[in-house]
Amino acid sequence: MRASLEVADIFRSAGPAYRAAHAGHLSLGQLKAMTAIENCRTAALGGHVEACDDCGHWRIAYNSCRNRHCP
């Protein structure tokens, strides 16, 4: 079950403004981690189809960013 609000949701909505407000004060590692978390479990990283052999139900599962800072 997905939580109602995730860190990635906050980064997606407030990340660009935060980066602009703190330009020059964020390290490359911090910027890369923010971008990875924003893209985590989205079509940007690709995905695959999971299907039930019994009922035929299927869903798309997007890939994780695999960043060690990602919750």
Interval 2-43: pLDDT, tens: 668 889 999 999 999 999 999 999 999 999 999 999 999 999
pTM, full prediction: 0.76
Buried b (16+ CB within 10 A) or exposed e, 10-49: ebeeebeeebeeeeeeeeeeeeebbbbbbbbbeeeeeeee
- Per-residue confidence (pLDDT) for residue 50, from 0 to 100: 94
Which positions ≥6 away from 71 have C-beta within 8 Å?
Answer: 6, 7, 37
**How far apart are alpha carbons 38 and 63 in whole angstroms?**
12
